Amino acid sequence: MKYVSTRNNKLSVTGSTAVLTGLAPDGGLFVPESFPEISREEILRMTETDYPERSALVMSKFFDELTYDELLGIARRAYATFDGDPAPEVKLADGLYVLELWHGKTHAFKDMALSVLPLLMTALKNKTGQKETCLIPVATSGDTGKAALEGFSDVPGTAVIVFYPDGGVSHTQKKQMVTTLGSNVKVVAVRGNFDDAQTAVKQAFGDKELAGKLAEAGCKMTGANSINLGRLAPQVAYYFSAYADLLSSGQIEFGDKVDFCVPTGNFGNILAAYYAKRMGLPAGKLICASNDNNVLTDFLETGVYSLDREFIKTTSPSMDILISSNLERLLFEFADRDGDTVKAWMDELKKNGSYDVGGERLCEIRETFWGGYAKQEDYADTLMDVYDEYGYLCDPHTAVAFDVCNRYFDECEDDAPVVVVSTASPVKFAATVLDSIGITPPEDDVKALRKMESETAFPVPESVYALFGMPERFNEVIDPAALPDTVYEFAKGLKK
């Protein structure tokens, strides 16, 4: 399997190059040269295998430089850090299911891929003989940061530096990050919002001077943000797994279409659903759920992607994103895989703050995708409704998905079963959850967690309470312009 760039379909690189560099040299994202296929028999066989085996099968379609057994070893190790089944499906009613992706160490779906990525990188690095330390700058809207820190902490030959928007993440998210142990990690707050942090990190990747200085320090930059192919592939697996679980519990028969409703920010998670569909999963509609930052809803309505809007800070911070990087991979497919077309749109976005894919392409995209958004007050009500009606407590991001899912079924004729993808545990957002179910949250984070636990009986792991007693290791705040220097200083200080 070779990979091409979304901005140049003549470029062709191996999976290891795609994973170890993260971004293509022309600024595009790596995409498979053609979609690998997962057959009916393979899906049916998944009903009898466990999650790591399902994951290894899907990953083996992307990474042929590693054997199935090597990939299975990676998946086994990665998912051993999870609490039980990595991707359990909960039935709320006939035709309504929740796919819980937050049973990893950091309680958000980012663990699904970021527990795998460090092992994948190390294995591919060994295959290619790369000697330099993989230095990984990460921009986070809250959850990626901790998952990356946890995944890479003390992994030999790697180092990770996380940039989060100052004041733009929840208390628990910040606490999780700044208390991380490990000699190869660092956490820095950036003035501005997530897009500012992400843009500065993207610029660092294109910064030749920085690359030169890092090479002298024995480091090579690579990306672990959701644009890295090594994150996309493990995410494709849980859509197949969800379908296999519906098959084995007799909820559906093979070939039945299943809709997925995904709370979306950077478009990574829902793109994985689209990839799964292209690879042979009998998926129906992919429902793209946004919060007040509804740039994708507008795009799916008009075909125009426009940044001419305010950035709104919400109670679902991991979706507070205006520049959805992974959308570029979708555009590539709907531009008939023509890199020049994609490049022209991306140039326009940079220059004028918007692009228009045109009515015909929009129609094609809408055959698969439906977009909707939920305002903060509305999804808080929905969180309460879901709790009342099903006794199911969800986090605010998942509540956005439930809300948009309701809108979809109100507006569209579709009787397919739907899987709502749940991306975080309520423990990460206790104050918002309490507020939504009509209980005034205590100021103190630990008290809020205890309150949530006593009021709802939702079990809060001891490790989450323990977090608040841990010393904070990092308190640096920088301007986006200082990011390259900060990365370099970090690289110089790494123990060899």
Ligand X SMILES: *Cc1c(COP(=O)(O)O)cnc(C)c1O
Site residues (CB under 6 A) for ligand X? 108-110, 143, 226, 263-269, 318-319, 397, 423-424
226 or 341, CB closer to ligand X? Answer: 226
**Least CB distance to ligand X at residue 138 (A):** 12
Task: Verify whether residue 110 is a known catalytic residue.
Answer: yes
CB 47 within 8 A of CB 290: no
**CB-nearer residue toward ligand X: 109 or 332:** 109
CB 147, min distance to ligand X, A? 8
Distance in angstroms (rounded) separating the CA atoms of residues 194 and 166:
9
User: Would you say 42 or 143 has its CB closer to ligand X?
Assistant: 143
Rounded to whole angstroms, what are the CA distances from 171 to 161, 177, 235, 428? Answer: 19, 10, 27, 9
Beta bridge mates, 96 = 93, 418
Q: How far is the CB of 352 from ligand X (least distance, A)?
A: 24
As measured in angstroms, the least distance from the Cβ of 260 to ligand X is 13
Q: Give the nearest distance from C-beta 423 to ligand X in angstroms.
A: 3
Q: Are 33 and 2 in contact (CB under 8 A)?
A: yes
192: left (phi over 0), alpha (psi -120 to 50) or beta: left
Kindly give the pairing relationship between strand 219-221 and strand 185-190: unpaired
Q: Which is nearer to ligand X, 210 or 242 (CB)?
A: 242
Cα–Cα dist 90/419, whole Å: 9
Own/partner contacts of 101-106, CB < 8 Å, gap of 24 or more, are 101/238, 101/421, 101/422, 101/423, 102/395, 102/422, 102/423, 102/424, 102/425, 103/425, 104/147, 105/81, 105/147, 105/150, 106/143, 106/146, 106/147, 106/150, 106/176
- Considering beta carbons, is residue 230 or 268 the nearer one to ligand X? 268
Residue 491's nearest CA partner among 314, 371, 483 is 483
Both tokens of 383, joined, read: 């969180």
CB of 303 to ligand X, least distance (A): 20
Q: What is the per-residue DSSP string for 387-442?
A: HHHH-----HHHHHHHHHHHHHHHHS---S-EEEEE-B-GGGGHHHHHHHTT-PPP
Comparing CB distances to ligand X, the nearer of 72 and 201 is 201
- What are the structure tokens assigned to 174, written together? 């910040």
Q: 405-408, long-range: CB within 8 Å, 24+ apart, which pairs?
A: 405/261, 405/287, 405/289, 406/382, 407/372, 407/374, 408/259, 408/261, 408/285, 408/287, 408/370, 408/372
Task: Closer to ligand X by CB, 66 or 232: give it.
Answer: 232
CB of 126 to ligand X, least distance (A): 28
- Indicate which residue of 105, 110, 125, 174 is catalytic: 110
Rounded to whole angstroms, how far apart are CA atoms 422 and 477? 32
- Choose between 108 and 224: whose C-beta lies nearer to ligand X: 108
* Chain centre to alpha carbon of residue 321: 12
Least distance from ligand X to the Cβ atom of residue 143, Å: 3
Active site residues: 110
